[in-house]
Amino acid sequence: MNASHERADQLDTHFWDRLDRLESEHRRLQCEHESARRKLDRADPRETQEVRDAWRHYCEVIAELDRTTEEFDLLRRSAP
């Protein structure tokens, strides 16, 4: 096996490892998003701090989910 073929195999391995990690992270974030959304739905509007905390957590999860989705897009565009 020549050196360029070995590098291509390593690139492929790196690509698939990164894809697996991103898919796992994305699934975890989707579950966390659903949990945060349900918590926000259950928050008593009269409990202002509870609503603020639920909303802040929801926004944090959405931001992280957006970052992971962006990583997916970057990975997809750089696929071998």
How many C-beta neighbours within 10 Å does residue 29 have? 20
Is there a domain that residue 38 lies in?
A: yes
User: pTM for the whole thing?
Assistant: 0.58
The predicted model gives 26-51 an average pLDDT of: 85
The predicted model gives 44-72 an average pLDDT of: 87
Domain of residue 51: give its range: 26-80
Is there a domain that residue 60 lies in?
A: yes
Is there a domain that residue 75 lies in?
A: yes
The predicted model gives 37-64 an average pLDDT of: 85
5, pLDDT greater than 70: no
For the chain, what is the domain count?
Answer: 1
Is there a domain that residue 16 lies in?
A: no
The predicted model gives 19-43 an average pLDDT of: 88
Q: Categorize the per-residue pLDDT at 8 as very low, low, confident or very high, splitting at 50, 70 and 90.
A: low
Is there a domain that residue 4 lies in?
A: no
**DSSP assignment of 3-32:** HHHHHHHHHHHHHHHHHHHHHHHHHHHHHH
80, pLDDT greater than 90: no
